[in-house]
């Protein structure tokens, strides 16, 4: 008998127990190997509301929804009554009243979901597709899935998270979860993009010191859109000082893997030639996104 976890919403990995995460990972792997979901009712509606650009998260949720047999509404943020001043809360309240069962939302606003999940009138499930510089819990799940597939464990692994730490919701979710599961976390990148709050998760080291030590090298995108035009680095300078160059990649241990949530700025945080190289799991992360999101949708809809 399959064990499926049940949860009302999926908004933050912090709220999940270790057991819930492990079960989500098991279900994601089961979907990857062909498991089919038995829907609890005839017609289930999902609405995708993306207020920030997205390729991977948006389309992999859409594909996950279609694979699970859901009816999918692509909510047009630009053509909706949001343009007349309707709030996100009232929009979600409306969609739920119309019969939407689950909303997947990406917003620029951190913790936008709080009033939605606290409301006794919003009856649909809320799934967080990323909130500003807050969290990206579905990316965290697919990253954990990719690491687990590679190493079969988290405990004892040395994981480096490198780059635009302070703006990265991916980094925040991953440092919390990997620490919880016993991985040793290290950080690197521009010192000004590191924050004291990360000290409780791991040490900051220079990139050259880190690379030969780690099992997983997680490169982060430079988030140009969150720097208010105050980027102190040219692309070439960033790549030279903090990027994964071919030379630095040659210092990686044989078994070490390279990850990146993408989109990738090729030749900025990672050399163009390394993106699809044998050590890279970047494409596998994208592939796993569909199955991780199937597991998340199953958990909230069951």
Residues of this chain that interact with ligand CP (CB under 6 A) are 54-58, 130, 139, 261-263
Nearest distance in Å: CB 265, ligand CP: 13
Q: By C-beta, is 96 or 163 nearer to ligand CP?
A: 163
Q: What is the DSSP code string of the chain?
A: -------S-B--GGGS-HHHHHHHHHHHHHHHTT-----SSS--EEEEEESS--SHHHHHHHHHHHHTT-EEEE--TTTSGGGGT--HHHHHHHHHHHT--EEEEEESSTTTTHHHHH-SS--SEEEEEEETTS--HHHHHHHHHHHHHHHS--TT-EEEEES-GGG-HHHHHHHHHHHHTTPEEEEES-GGG--GGGGGTEEE--HHHHTTT-SEEEE----GGGTTT-----HHHHHHHHSB-HHHHTTS-TT-EEE--S---BTTTB-GGGTTSTTB-HHHHHHHHHHHHHHHHHHHH-
Q: By C-beta, is 130 or 134 nearer to ligand CP?
A: 130
Nearest distance in Å: CB 294, ligand CP: 16
Q: By C-beta, is 56 or 213 nearer to ligand CP?
A: 56
Nearest distance in Å: CB 259, ligand CP: 11
Nearest distance in Å: CB 23, ligand CP: 23
Nearest distance in Å: CB 130, ligand CP: 6
Nearest distance in Å: CB 126, ligand CP: 17
Q: By C-beta, is 130 or 202 nearer to ligand CP?
A: 130
Q: By C-beta, is 9 or 169 nearer to ligand CP?
A: 169
Structure tokens at 73: 């509404």
Rounded Cα–Cα distance for residues 288 and 24 (Å): 12
Q: Are 165 and 187 in contact (CB under 8 A)?
A: yes
Nearest distance in Å: CB 263, ligand CP: 6
Q: By C-beta, is 176 or 288 nearer to ligand CP?
A: 288
Q: By C-beta, is 93 or 145 nearer to ligand CP?
A: 145
Q: By C-beta, is 137 or 261 nearer to ligand CP?
A: 261
Q: Phi and psi for 44 in degrees, rounded to 5?
A: -120, 130
> Which residue matches tokens 């490169």?
219
Q: How far is CA 125 from its chain centroid?
A: 18
Rounded Cα–Cα distance for residues 258 and 276 (Å): 10
Nearest distance in Å: CB 33, ligand CP: 23
């Amino acid at each position: 008998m399959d064990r499926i976890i049940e949860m009302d919403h999926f908004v933050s990995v912090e709220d999940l127990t270790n057991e819930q995460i492990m079960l989500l990972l098991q279900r994601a792997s089961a979907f990857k190997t062909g498991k089919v979901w038995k829907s609890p009712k005839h017609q289930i509606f999902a609405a995708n509301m993306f207020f920030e650009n997205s390729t991977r998260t948006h389309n992999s949720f859409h594909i996950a929804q279609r694979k699970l047999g859901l009816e999918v509404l692509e909510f047009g943020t630009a053509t909706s009554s949001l343009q007349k001043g309707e709030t996100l809360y009232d929009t979600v309240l409306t969609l739920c009243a119309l019969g939407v069962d689950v909303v997947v939302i990406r917003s620029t606003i951190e913790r936008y979901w709080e009033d939605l999940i606290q409301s006794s009138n919003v009856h649909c499930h809320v799934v967080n597709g990323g909130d500003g510089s807050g969290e990206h819990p579905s990316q965290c799940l697919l990253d954990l899935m990719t690491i687990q597939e590679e190493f079969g464990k988290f405990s004892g692994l040395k994981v480096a998270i490198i780059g635009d730490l302070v703006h990265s919701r991916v980094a925040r979710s991953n440092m919390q979860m990997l620490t919880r599961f016993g991985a040793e976390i290290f950080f690197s990148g521009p010192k000004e993009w590191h924050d004291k709050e990360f000290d409780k998760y791991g040490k900051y080291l220079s990139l050259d010191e880190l690379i030969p030590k780690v099992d997983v090298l997680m490169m982060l995108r430079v988030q140009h859109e969150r720097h208010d035009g105050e980027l102190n680095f040219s692309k070439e300078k960033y790549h030279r000082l903090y990027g994964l160059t071919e030379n630095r990649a040659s210092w990686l241990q044989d078994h070490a893997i390279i990850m990146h949530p993408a989109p990738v700025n090729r030749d900025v945080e990672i050399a163009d030639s390394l993106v699809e190289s044998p050590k890279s799991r970047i494409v596998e992360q994208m592939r796993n996104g569909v199955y991780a999101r199937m597991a998340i949708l199953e958990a909230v809809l069951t």
